[in-house]
Structure formats: C-alpha cells, structure tokens
Amino acid sequence: MPAATIRVFVSSTFRDMQAERDLLVKRVFPELRARCRALDLEFVGVDLRWGVPEDQAEHGGVLPVCLAEIDQADYFIGLLGARYGWVPSDLSDDLLAGRPWLVSESTPSITELEIRHAIGGPSVGRPRRTFFYLRSDRYLRTVARESLVEFAPESDRSAERLAALKARLGAQRGLAVREYDAPEAFVEPVIEDLWEAIRTDHPAPSSVDPLDREAAAHLAFATERARAFVGRHELLRQLEEHASVREGVLVLAGEAGIGKSALLARFLQRFRANHPDVWTLAHFVGSTSPSTNHLALVQRPLQELQRRNGFEPGQPDSPSELIAILEAWLPRAASSGPIVLVIDGLDLLENPDASHDLAWLPESIPKGCRLILAASGRSLKAAARNGWRIITVPPLSIDERHEAIREYLLHHRKRLSDARIERIARGAQTGLPLFLRALMDELRLVGAHDRLDQYIDGYLQAPDSPSLFQKILARWEADYEGESDLVGDALGLILAARDGLSETELLSMLGDANGPLPPAFWSPFFLAVQESLVHRSGVLTFFHPHLREAVREAYLPTPAHELAMHRRLADFFDAQPLDARRIAELPWQLAHAHEWARLNRLFGDLDFVTAAWSTGPVDRRLALGAARRTIDVRGASHLRGTAGEPRERASFGRVLDGTTPVGMRPQERGTRLVGAPRRGGAKARERRRPHRVRPSGRGDPNPTGPERRRARAPREHPAFASGG
C-alpha cells in the first residue's frame, strides 16, 4: 500500500484559467501521480473549480469547503492572470473566527482569501509549501478579440487589487513565485517544482526500512486515537505502574467504543516521554493490513529484536516454531533492558479460531518484559483462563464528558451553551467516547442553529453507537447525495475493499466515461466524513467497526449486494498496472466475487505470480492465499491444473490446495481450503445517476421525492427520527 498521501490544492480564478486547469488535470497531475507511485506515494490533486459550472464554483457556500481542503493540503498552487476573481458580499463571523489572516477593510475575492489562508493558515503535518504562477499580461495580446472579455480585468478597481496582491506575493520572502507567458509554458515548471518538493519531503522507498514503515503506521494510528483523549487519570496511573514496576500481563477489558485504543495511545505517549530508555513496541490491530494476522504480529517483535539486539533467530518451519522462537528470545532481550509490548484490538484479529484463544502468545512472560493487552469477547475469556490481571475500562464520568466536549469545541473553534453541554453530558450513551465523538462530529456540521436542540435530541434518541451511525448515514444521504448514490457507492466500495481504497481509486470508480469524479463533487462529502475515516498507509478505511457494520447493514445487506460490489472492484483492479495494490486486491476481490474462471486465469499469469511472490512473505501470503481462505476443495478444482494446461498454471493450482509447495515457505504448507463457493450472482449494478454539487449547508431535514436506489428502506432524517 502507499506509504503516504500527497494532497495538492489548486487555487485560481474561474473564467480565464480553464486552459491551465485542464493542463493540470490532464498532464501535470498524471505525470506526478506516476512519479509518486514509484516512491510508494499516493498523489491527490484537488481543484474545486474543475469540472463544475461557474455559478456553482463561485458562491459563498464553497468557501468553507475550500479553506478546509487547504488545511489538509501538503502543497498549494496559486494561479493568477489578469482577473481578480469573484468577491463575496460579506464573510460570516464563524468563517473569520480564529482566522485573523482573512480579515481586511474590504472583502477580498475568493481567490485572494484562499491565497491568504494557504500562507497564514494552519496545516496538517509538516508546514505547507506554496507555489505561485503569474501569467504575464503579454498573453492578452494573443487572445482573440471576441474572447478578451473572459481574460481582461473585471474593472479598474479589480485590476488595482490584483496588482497589489501580486506585489505582496513577490515581496514576501520564502515564497516560490514564477511568471509565465502562456498556459503551455507553465506545465514543466509546475511539474519540476512540485517534484523537487516531494522528493525532498519524502525519501525514496529504498531508504525506508519496512519495519520502520510498519512502526510509523502504528504510530500514526495511535496519534489519531490519542488526539481527543481526556481524563482516565487512574487508569493511566495503573498502566504506568504495570509498565514500570510490575511483571507479566495486564489486560484492558471493555465494550467496543469504550476508549481502550485511545487510552493505550495516550499511555504510550506519556510512557515513552518519561522512559525514553525503555524499549516499547506498540501493535494496533487493524492499523495496517498485516497487523490483523496473529502470526505477522508474532513476527514483528522478532524482527525488531533481531535488528535491535543483533539476534539471528533463524527461519521457522511452522507457526508453533515461530512462537517457540519468540519465547526463547524474549528472556535474552529482556536481560539487557526492560521491554514493554502493547497489543490493542485482539478481538479484531482475523481467523478467530486460530487467534482469539491467544495460544500464539508466549506461555510465560520473562522477568523484565511487560505485556499490556486490550481485549473483549473470546480473547478476553482466554485471558481470564490464563489468570492474567484484568482491568475494566468504565464509561466516562460526567466531569470527563464535560471536559471532552469543551476540548472538542475548543479544537474546532465552536461554541455550545452550558445547558446544551450539560444535556449532552447527561446522556447515558455519551459515556462511550466513540458515541460522544461521533455525536460532536455531527453537531459541528449543523448549519441551522435555531434547530440545534432538535438535532441534539434526535441523535440522543439513538440507544447505542450502531444506531447512532445509522442516523449519521441517513444525514449524509440527505446532505450529499441529491440524485446520486455518492454515499452508498463510496462507503460500500471502501467496505468491500480488502485494505480500503485510496482517494484516487475512489474518485476513479465514482466517475464515469468522462473521467474521475471531479473534486468539487467529492470534497464536501469527504470533508464531512473524514473524522469517521482514517488514512492507513495511503488508503481510506473506517475509524471504527461500528461504522463498518452500519455501512454493511445499509448498503451491502445481502450476499447479492456483496457479490456485485466485489465484482465492481475486481473489474477496476483488473484494469490497473501490475503493482502492489493490484496484487493485494485483485485475487481477493475475484475470490469474494466467486469469479473462479478469472481467478484461475490470474493465477496462470506467470508475470502476476512472479510479481506477487516478490512482495514479501506477509503480503505474499495475503495476496496468493486469498483463494485458500475462500474456496473449498471443489473451488480449488477450478484452479488446479488439468492436462494440457501451462506448467505454471498447474503448479500454482497445486500450491493453492496445499498438494505441492512450489517455493512456499514451510509454515505455509498444507493449508486446506474452506468455504463452499456459491454459483450465480447479483444482477449487474444499474447505471449510476450523475453526481451534482450540493450546497455546503445541511440538506432538507425532511427530504421528499422519489426514493433513491439503496439497499434498505427509506430512513427518517436523524434529527427528527422517533427512535434508534
């Protein structure tokens, strides 16, 4: 999967920059996307004025979306010609709050506001890089007389304000400002400027150790979970005490959404700061694709110990030998200094029959090694049978809920009355941090403040987190779908993907014959849902299993719906270049779509098999073993070679059913195939309706009209629904 996502925001006036924006989309972005792919990076270009009519691109409602997208951007491209751009009548107090760089005596144009925000506003991650390209007035001499009105200044006053803006950009130290004579002339400078910045900010993949990349993904996941953490002081003290003084295993217990991940993430932040000499290894199940495999989980500390202590544990011949090697080497490693291993989300491990009994963990924990786990369900019962110390995470106290709400409002520059905060804090469900955060994410987007109390009451009617997420899905549909199926399509595709999907992949699949879905149609929805999604190694997936299950119930409730979505994904990845994403997704999608003949042909493709085999032991098992986890012996007969077939196809078929280990590592031998294939499938998905821009405010709270195509019956708007 991609190691990171690169986001580039494009700002320009509308009428006179059509040629430049087309060149960016058709020449600059594809070139940079290809170069980034070689660095294992995902490139996303955001131009909210491309592919939409002028009356939709230039109205006051799009400005909050533009500013929010700039906040997310790594790089900002500003294009200026001879036009100053559309000037809104006024700016709301909410928009200006906390943004002094936008305030001026007279209202600036949308384009100048974007430029001011890019230079003076906040950024996510490293400081944002800005690049400005000023088209020379000499270009006006080449424009046909009948078209000159589209390129000339709107008025003398506009020309003066534009000249002042350009002068300020040229005078400000540290800004990259170039002048160009014609649209074609700026293509190469933009490519080279951005590419130089990307290469500087992101080292080549050959210099990034795979273990470091995996650790960075877990750290990013933990940082996101800890961001909204409050309270839990006694639990933090007990975790600190166990990691510092006690020996053995400590288990955090609690229902899903109670905040175990956030608690462990905050504990790790504090403990690493206070004990920099103690070696800690954190593993958050679900933060990366390999993280959900219990054998990969065992391999990771072994590989880290090998690198850290110079151990040579050897190559295990079976899962049991892998576990035995870890048990043997942990005491030797702990003898040179304390070790703290933290594993979150044991209940999310794949293959529950083999992983949830915890038999793969060392039977005895050596002196100097402390193990901290988060568990529920079967894994928690296994921990209790082992006699390990268990601490139950309680709901947030009323005071902690107050603190969490006020911290959230402060972070997002929002305000609620004391009475509303109290009503939210007193809700029985808001003791679960997941419920409280999802509720606050929703209230933050309410535009009709006179109906805020109705929204609060409506969401608090949800008895639990799954019911709340169903209400949230209904709100997203009301606000962002219109006549399209954007919400169900996007979330259904993410759900059906093995590892999640990159933004570029999503936009391609949500588009049509004319190209990917334009960012102007995607960004309002994406900005609204991004708190419910996480970027993991460059792909989008769900923040929490409760949302995943709500999406499944709403949009993929039957095997027929699932088959259709898996076929759609299989068709997409089958048309992609032979890279790590195609290797990871295509076999898995074909198997889950029950496309046995196509899977047979794929595994008969020697180029594909060779490329997949070189991706590493964990990815190789996940990619090439996809069919083994889905097909039984009858399904394997579709893949096994027959007389007259090419040798590589016959050999690989035998690998799948475990009869001939062609180059396979010993622990991968003998795996039998499970899950009988079901013939047939769903009808082809009907043609999607075109997407259209929605206003930035909330949709009609009581939408009417013909029911859109969805997997389930119409739902009431969340603010006025009578129950959960």
Chain segment 242-263, per-residue pLDDT in tens: 998 888 899 999 988 898 999 9
Mean pLDDT of the chain: 78
Is the same domain home to 200 and 308?
no
Is the same domain home to 175 and 216?
no
Sequential DSSP letters for 477-530 = HHHHTTTS-HHHHHHHHHHHSSS-B-HHHHHHHHSBTTBSPPHHHHHHHHHHHG
Nearest to 458 by CA among 448, 286, 198: 448
Is the same domain home to 249 and 327?
yes
Q: Is there a contact between 468 and 434 (Cβ–Cβ < 8 Å)?
A: no
- Does residue 107 lie in a domain region? yes
Chain segment 160-208, per-residue pLDDT in tens: 999 999 999 988 888 889 999 999 888 999 999 999 999 888 876 555 6
Is the same domain home to 132 and 42?
yes
Distance CA 384, CA 429 (A): 27
| 168 burial via Cβ count (<10 Å: 0-12, 13-18, 19+) | middle
- Does residue 313 lie in a domain region? yes
Is the same domain home to 303 and 165?
no
| Alpha-carbon torsion angle 396, 399, 401, 402, nearest 10 | 180
Sheet-wide strand order for 4-12: 41-46, 4-12, 75-80, 129-135, 176-180
Ranges assigned E (strand) in 168-265: 176-180, 248-253
- Does residue 561 lie in a domain region? no
- Does residue 441 lie in a domain region? yes
Return the number of other C-beta atoms located less than 10 Å from residue 190's C-beta: 25
Angle at Cα 620 formed by Cα 619 and Cα 625, nearest 5°? 105
Is the same domain home to 114 and 223?
no
Is the same domain home to 192 and 45?
yes
Is the same domain home to 219 and 365?
yes
Q: Of 392, 427, 445, which residue sits at a domain end? A: 392
Phi, psi of 180 (to 5 degrees): -140, 160
Distance CA 476, CA 454 (A): 17
Q: Pairing state of beta strands 248-253 and 369-375? A: parallel
Chain segment 407-455, per-residue pLDDT in tens: 888 876 678 889 999 999 999 999 999 999 889 988 877 756 677 888 8
pLDDT at 130: 93
Q: Residue 1 pLDDT > 60, yes or no?
A: no
What's the structural domain count of the chain? 3
pLDDT band at 667 (very low <50, low <70, confident <90, very high): very low
Chain segment 576-596, per-residue pLDDT in tens: 988 888 988 999 899 999 998
- Does residue 165 lie in a domain region? yes
Encode burial over 35-65: b for 16+ CB neighbours within 10 A, e otherwise: bbbebbbbbbbbbbbbbbeeebbbebebbbb
Is the same domain home to 380 and 435?
no
Distance CA 414, CA 392 (A): 33
Which residue type is seen at 232? Answer: R
Q: Is there a contact between 498 and 570 (Cβ–Cβ < 8 Å)?
A: no
Range of the domain at 222: 210-392
Is the same domain home to 134 and 199?
yes
Q: Of 184, 206, 228, which residue sits at a domain end? A: 206
Encode burial over 203-238: b for 16+ CB neighbours within 10 A, e otherwise: eeeeeeeeeebbbebbbbbbebbbebbbbbeebbeb
Q: Of 445, 460, 475, which residue sits at a domain end? A: 460
- Does residue 275 lie in a domain region? yes
Tell which wins on pLDDT, 176 or 617: 176
Is the same domain home to 306 and 375?
yes
Instruction: Specify the 3-state DSSP secondary structure of 437.
Output: helix
- Does residue 159 lie in a domain region? yes
- Does residue 271 lie in a domain region? yes
Average pLDDT of 530-543?
77
Chain segment 395-416, per-residue pLDDT in tens: 999 999 999 999 888 876 678 8
CATH code at 268? 3.40.50.300
Is the same domain home to 179 and 88?
yes
